[in-house]
């Protein structure tokens, strides 16, 4: 309702880049198989610009935890700030390109699980619709923003959808990703949406863009350890500043 009051810009942008089909509206709830929601679309755009504000040579030394734009509010603060700071966002060709690339990743992930004969989707819904995980969505957009100006790495980030040997996001590997500090209830990377999950995904996409090999078990492990080490270092630096 609040998005309707706000205007049609967000919906038209999503239709333009393929995150929504022509004439399609946002889904009310984030459900597997549903179209993108207002919350997901806003989160994508906000994190693209948050990432773009970080100099690429500082990525490993600053907080790179993507944010989520909460739903149920007419003017979420972070969304309003993003629009005010980027008044030309609806015409930004680099943002539009990022939107098109993520739409292509959504399609590639789904089509990997489509049976060539029956045309039916076969596989676990969580794997088929892995891009519905908002932590993954936010992190992918964050890294896309952070890599603006570094075309070779940006291309490797976008090309993850072209994986042929496995599903592009390798959901089977993500499930095995965990840290020794995780609780027993932790199901592996890609099931939660909290800050830690978002930060781990950002680190993973960042590493993948460096190597361009697609996700590997070693990369998932390194990304999780890297984010946790960064988080500890930043907490230490903050505590020192208060002495």
| Residue 232 and residue 179 in contact, taking contact as beta carbons nearer than 8 Å | no
At 75-113, the pLDDT tens digits run 899 999 999 999 999 999 999 999 999 999 999 999 999
- Residue 66 pLDDT: 98
Quickly state the pLDDT bin for 3 (edges 50, 70, 90): low
- Residue 127 pLDDT: 92
Mean pLDDT over residues 118-137, rounded? 94
Residues 6+ apart with CB under 8 A from 142: 47, 48, 50, 51, 64, 66, 202, 205
pTM for the complete prediction?
A: 0.94
C-beta neighbour count of 60 within 10 angstroms:
13
Domain total of the chain: 1
Q: Which domain range does residue 86 map to?
A: 2-241
Helices 134-146, 195-211: crossing angle, 10 deg rounding: 50
């Amino acid at each position: 309702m609040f998005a309707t009051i706000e205007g049609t810009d967000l919906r038209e942008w999503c239709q333009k880049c393929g995150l929504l089909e022509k004439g399609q509206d946002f889904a009310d709830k984030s459900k597997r198989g549903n179209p993108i929601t207002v919350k997901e679309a806003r989160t994508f755009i906000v994190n693209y610009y948050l990432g773009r504000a970080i100099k690429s040579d500082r990525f490993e030394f600053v907080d790179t935890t993507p944010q989520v734009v909460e739903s149920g509010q007419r003017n979420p603060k972070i969304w309003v700030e993003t629009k005010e700071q980027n008044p030309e966002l609806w015409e930004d060709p680099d943002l539009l390109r990022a939107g098109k690339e993520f739409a292509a990743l959504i399609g590639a992930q789904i089509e990997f699980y489509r049976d060539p004969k029956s045309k039916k989707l076969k596989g676990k819904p969580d794997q088929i619709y892995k891009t519905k995980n908002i932590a993954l969505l936010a992190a992918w957009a964050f890294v896309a923003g952070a890599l603006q100006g570094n075309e070779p790495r940006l291309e490797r980030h976008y090309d993850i959808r072209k994986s042929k040997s496995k599903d592009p996001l390798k959901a089977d590997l993500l499930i095995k990703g965990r840290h020794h500090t995780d609780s027993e209830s932790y199901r592996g990377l890609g099931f939660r949406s909290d800050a830690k999950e978002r930060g781990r995904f950002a680190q993973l996409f960042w590493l993948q863009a460096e190597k361009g090999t697609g996700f590997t078990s070693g990369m998932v492990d390194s990304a999780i350890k890297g984010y946790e080490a960064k988080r500890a270092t930043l907490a230490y630096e903050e505590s020192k500043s208060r002495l």
